[in-house]
Amino acid sequence: MVGSIETMGHTLYSNGAIQKFNGLEKKLDELRSLLGKADSDPLRIVGVGAGAWGSVFAALLQDNYGQYREKVQIRIWRRPGRAVDKATAEHLFEVINSREDVLRRLIRRCAYLKYVEARLGDRTLFADEILKDGFCLNMIDTPLCPLKVVTNLQEAVWDADIVINGLPSTETHEVFEEISHYWKERITVPIIISLAKGIEAALDPVPHIITPTRMINRATGVPMENILYVGGPNIASEIYNKEHANARICGAEKWRKPLAKFLRQPHFIVWDNSDLVTHEVMGGLKNVYAIGAGMVAALTNESATSKSVYFAHCTSEMIFITHLLAEDPEKLAGPLLADTYVTLLKGRNAWYGQMLAKGELSLDMGDSISGKGMIQGVSAVEAFYKLLSQSSLNVLHPEEKKPVAPVELCPILKTLYKILISREQSSSQAILKALRDENLNDPRERIEIAQTHAFFKPSLLGQPRIDLRSICYTNT
């Protein structure tokens, strides 16, 4: 008879054999059980949107759980027809040939020849085509695992148990409104995990903010307890390369705790948090201020002193804005502060600010940049400025003792709007002038004012729209 002892995640048998304890399958089985999945029915996870973070998120799940094909099915949807330009195809070919593991994989899959032809200009590759081989158009330098790609949205989502929203916030409502048509006959309620970072501003019936989770709720009628947000200090390529990272999944307790456990990996620690508002709003705000951080870095030749001054002022504005939106927001500390730091330090929005300041990009090129994707901070600048400039939200200026729009207490946000949107300022140098204003208050004062709760504006979050589909979902 062979006995066994469990130790350090392995099972040690008396005959000397060691069998690794399968914690992954156990986590998968626990989530399947919570969702009421029958043994013969795979858990269906679908990523919607294939930008860098959306693709990496799907690839992490595929790497972790893809081996259990009878228990889970992982797919990703992206629009068809996006051609890969010749310069990108040439770069992709160099990446492939620099990685022996990738080269061998493509040869085994009989997929290498098409990259040779694309390199020679004899063939056009498409973004959905290369994604199947593990290449994200916005992150060519980081090969992923091969992914199951679906280009028909209805086919991708109609029976999904978990949907990962990897779309820019500017596209979230439109795509999920289309998805809602495919869910009309659903009996069960899907779980939606949103990765989107950005907001929209609405002025009717009162000025209010619309976050991606709320967009999804309004578009589909899926109740908010089934919609969660994942954010954290992360650069997509570094996470996939197993740099140690952490994130938080925010939302109702019913799903955030089991999902945090399901998503957690040794190099990607996922905690859970109930403060959806602060984390999701901060997710949009950090992209706003990352553009300015990139400008300051470029204009001052990476001066640590100048960047730290900018950091002090921009974080105080972020704290002030979150206190307008939530009565008791989570403090900008720990992972929230780290998320802000890494985004200001490195990421597509900071890169965009640097390139603008250096003159290597122009505003006329738009906010969707080849090889980077959507620069989400640009639309967020416009949305936050538009929202916080409304006179109906006036607050008492602490020194002038007169009512002013909240944006008047956010000089960096005002300056970014003048550079990026209204173009009243023709040069990125304006961001430095804002920092060097002799009349600029100590950022500590703005934080203290915000924390008095005197500026809390409950109307800024708006009211959830009553939707018959939401009532039906709740009843089922």
Quick check: is 35 in a domain? no
Picking from 108, 125, 142, the residue at the C-terminal end of a domain is 125
The CA distance from 381 to 416, in Å, is: 7
Structure tokens at 121: 């200009």
Quick check: is 132 in a domain? no
The CA distance from 357 to 133, in Å, is: 36
Query: Degrees (nearest 5) of the Cα angle 221, 73, 49?
Result: 55
Mean pLDDT by 10 residues, the chain (476 residues): 41 39 87 95 97 96 96 97 94 97 96 96 96 96 97 97 95 96 93 93 88 95 97 88 92 96 94 90 92 96 94 92 84 79 90 96 91 90 94 83 90 96 94 87 80 78 47 40
Tell me what pLDDT residue 73 has: 98
Quick check: is 193 in a domain? no
Quick check: is 388 in a domain? yes
Quick check: is 148 in a domain? no
Picking from 101, 125, 149, the residue at the C-terminal end of a domain is 125
Quick check: is 300 in a domain? yes
Quick check: is 348 in a domain? yes
Say if residues 76 and 147 touch (Cβ distance below 8 Å).
yes
Kindly provide the residue ranges of all beta strands, DSSP E only, lying in 363-406, ordered along the sequence: 368-369, 373-374, 395-396, 403-404
Residues taking part in catalysis: 286
Phi-psi sector, 370: left (phi>0), alpha (psi -120 to 50), beta: beta
The total number of structural domains in the chain stands at: 2
Tell me what pLDDT residue 453 has: 65
The CA distance from 195 to 56, in Å, is: 11
Say if residues 443 and 308 touch (Cβ distance below 8 Å).
no
Q: How far is CA 452 from the centre of its chain?
A: 31
Quick check: is 297 in a domain? yes
Tell me what pLDDT residue 332 has: 77
User: How many CB atoms lie under 10 A from the CB of residue 17?
Assistant: 10
Structure tokens at 205: 């019936």
Question: Residue 354 belongs to a domain with what CATH number?
Answer: 1.10.1040.10
Domain region containing 91? 86-125
